[in-house]
Amino acid sequence: MKLVLPSPEYAGEIAAYRREFLQQGGSMDGAGPLRRMEDPLEWIAFCQRLMRGEAEDWVADTQFLYVREADGKIVGMMDVRHDLNDYLAEYGGHIGYSVRPGERRKGYAGRMLALGLDYCWDQLGLDRVMVNCLEENEASRRTILKNGGVYERTVVEKRGERSRTIQRYWIARPRTMLVTGFAPFGGQNVNPSWEAVQALPDTIGPWRIKKLLLPVTFGRAAREAIQKAREIRAGAVLSVGQAGGRKAVTPERIGINLRDARLPDQEGQTPRDEPVVPEGPAAYFATLPVKRMAEAVAAEGIPCQVSCSAGTYVCNDVLYSLLHAFNGTAVRCGFVHVPYMDGQGEPSLPLSAIVRALEAIIREIGETGSDPQSRQQTDG
Ligand code: PCA
């Protein structure tokens, strides 16, 4: 299932969507003026102006089609308003949506709304979103609650003689964690860090997880991680890398201001005794609770140990750069090295154990703030 912007290739499907509503009844929500526009091309052109904020009397608004890839059918429609005008602020909210009559009761509305919310957080940068439903619409209420809606109050909209009773709900921007993994390097054809990151679910505890693959390249990997973290306004960044030869999953305590490579990186750079940041401090402590992360992994029966050195290669480069970039902010950053996965060499862990370890770590980060103890205690 995917959200797409209206385009002429969907003209036939758009007309069919409209027809189904006109024949079977129901309110064509989340479709702008589609009900009164018989020509799909006219509606598509309107949606394009709407998105640029050029439709008179409308706030800027992104119209989506919710399309089932298997057969190209439009299952639902949704529009996401970039702002609220007086009417929307009282009755309409940020997001309107509908599922066509023949495709209801299959859970589509909830998943479509989840994608719409992602758009609000990532593309529009909204902090909270209002989603409303008619008081009598039980299915819609359940969809909103499932997506984290919190009931605010009920309002009555008068339209001439008639009136509608509307429940208002607010959904808050979830905490987002950027989790990065690395590409294969050093003659290997997989990197367990990216294999494991890819296998993580999209939400863990209170965190919405965003995944990013990094190149094994000094400077560039760090820049891409920092840029992405800013773009999605991450509350935490967890980078993961491979440490062949280690037996345990190892949360890293320290990033140091040093590049010293034995192996050329992906762009052929082999820095020797260079700083990561010329005027930067010698080192930073990770701002994630490394001790508790290690305990959480050990509790799963997976070998784990806090490490005091992330090395002097690209992984350390990323850790130091993140800690430097987000020093003094609320964005907490850390790094976890993982052993080879089975089949790569010895010692190794099954990929499933590495995935479980990362899940335990992320859940633990959700439950605690940064851990001042990790700055004082040595590893013993
Ligand atoms: N491990 C390397 C870089 C990429 C990776 O997965 C390191 O430990 O520096």
Share above pLDDT 70 across residues of the chain, in percent, rounded to a whole number: 96
Q: Which helix (H) or strand (E) holds 334?
A: strand 332-338
Q: Is the model more confident about 371 or about 215?
A: 215
Residues forming beta bridges with residue 29, ordered by sequence position: none
Q: Whose CA is nearest to atom 7 of ligand 1?
A: 315
pLDDT confidence of residue 379: 38
**Do 160 and 192 contact (CB within 8 A), yes or no?**
no
Q: pLDDT tens-digit profile of 226-248?
A: 999 999 999 999 999 999 999 99
- Is residue 29 predicted with pLDDT exceeding 50? yes
Ligand 1 atom closest to the Cα of residue 313 is: 9
- Is residue 373 predicted with pLDDT exceeding 80? no
pLDDT confidence of residue 376: 41
173: which DSSP letter? Answer: P
Q: pLDDT tens-digit profile of 244-294?
A: 999 999 999 999 999 999 999 999 999 999 999 999 999 999 999 999 999
Structural domains present in the chain: 2-172 (3.40.630.30), 175-379 (3.40.630.20)
Cβ density class 298-312: b for 16+ within 10 Å, e for less = beeebbbebbeebbb
Distance CA 65, CA 72 (A): 11
Q: Mean of the per-residue pLDDT values for the chain?
A: 95
Q: Which residues line ligand 1 (CB under 6 A)?
A: 182, 185, 191, 193, 216, 241-243, 311, 313-315
Distance (Å) from CA 295 to ligand 1 centroid: 23
